Amino acid sequence: MKFPRSVQAALLGFSLLASAAHAQSSAVDKYPDHPIKLVVGYAPGGGNDVAARLLAKELASILHGSIVVENRAGAGTNIAASYVARSAPDGYTLSLSSTALAVNVTLYKKLDYDAIKDFEPIAIFAEAPNLLLVNPKLPVNSVADLVEYGKKHPGKLNFSSAGSGSTQHLAGELFKIKGGFDAAHIPYKGSAPALTAVIGGEADFTFINIPSSKQLIESGQLKALAITSAKRFPAVPNIPTMAEAGMNGMEVATWYSIVAPAGTPRPIVDKLNKAINQAMTEPELRKRFEELGMAPMNESPEFFKKFLADEVARWRVIVQQSNASVN
């Protein structure tokens, strides 16, 4: 039986679509068939690197493949971000991205990538709040005390951070805005020297993550006034949130996510998202993240996409109001 040409064309079209769908399905079923590269924009040993390696190990097991962590540190993670943005969108080059991805949009005057358009959001899998810490010799015992002290002694307070443009730096800038007082920012190269500065009296306060400071708090070398999470954190249950301490709008956390180059096929995005969420439900991995002061998360690509856009808008306001800049 001979069909009219219009019908033949339609049948051919359906056949081609079916073949393409089958080929794509087959490719996803085989993914990954060679090592995945997970790029980290920080040097080995830091929080981002540790999070990447913990996740990569569990993810490789779930995907029955191999994941290689590659550190491309420098320029506030911009070197790594630019590299991944220009990689093939095939699911074999991924980025461990954090809050810096949203902050850098405003913090840097010029970037050679677009944080929204050049990446495919896959999953946001953990977040880590910061503690507001002070030198025990400073005559304050609460957030309200510190704010009052800053207002009564203009120009006297200063705060340390792990570096210009870091979450800790911007948490300090936001605190100044919310509290209505001034304090000079002293950037250091990492959390350790920033903490040492507060212990030694070079700086009066700082915002630093839990793992870096918990022992120092317990030993009495630092005093914790509050935590920047929305609710109390299991690792430090006796420390109040900033909201409980009387200051709303101070929920500041370093979040950890996986992104791929824009254009990565949706089936691969979905497969990776499902695997990451599964990894973060594994009891041992969850326990390890919580010990590191990180709260595991399980969210969809759609949630992460909106979250990233909201974070870019939020940090734009904070960076602009504080006149924060990178050295």
Q: What is the pLDDT of residue 58?
A: 97
At residue 323 the predicted structure's pLDDT band, cuts being 50, 70 and 90, is confident
pLDDT for 90 equals 97
Percentage of the chain with pLDDT > 70? 91
The CATH superfamily label for domain 129-227 reads Periplasmic binding protein-like II (3.40.190.10)
Average pLDDT over residues 164-173: 89
Least confident of 120-124, 239-243, 252-256: 252-256
Note the pLDDT of residue 209: 87
**Who wins on pLDDT, 253 or 13?**
253
220 backbone φψ class: left, alpha, beta (φ>0; ψ -120 to 50): left
For residue 131, the model assigns a pLDDT of 96
Q: Residues 23-44: what's their mean pLDDT?
A: 84
Q: Where is pLDDT greater, at 167 or 131?
A: 131
Does position 278 have pLDDT exceeding 60, yes or no? yes
**Domain-wise residue ranges, the chain:** 29-128+254-322, 129-227
Query: Which of these ranges, 57-61, 91-95, 213-217, has the smallest mean pLDDT?
Result: 213-217
Least confident of 8-12, 173-177, 237-241, 314-318: 8-12
Whether 327 shows a pLDDT value over 60: the answer reads no
CB 131 within 8 A of CB 227: yes
Section 199-226 average pLDDT: 93
Closest CA to 315 of 72, 102, 16: 102
Same CATH topology for 29-128+254-322 and 129-227?
yes
Cβ count within 10 A of residue 18 = 10
> Considering the domain 29-128+254-322 in this protein, what is its CATH number?
3.40.190.150
pLDDT of residue 212: 82
pLDDT surpassing 60 at residue 20 = no
Phi then psi dihedrals of residue 95, to 5 deg: -125, 135
pLDDT at 305 > cutoff 50: yes
What Rg value do the Cα atoms of the chain yield, rounded? 23
Per-residue pLDDT at 291: 87
User: Which pLDDT belongs to residue 156?
Assistant: 94
Q: Is the pLDDT of residue 12 over 70?
A: no
> How confident is the prediction for the chain on average, in pLDDT?
91
Strand partners, 126: 256, 296
Q: Which of 245, 41, 257, 289 is nearest to 131 (CA)?
A: 245
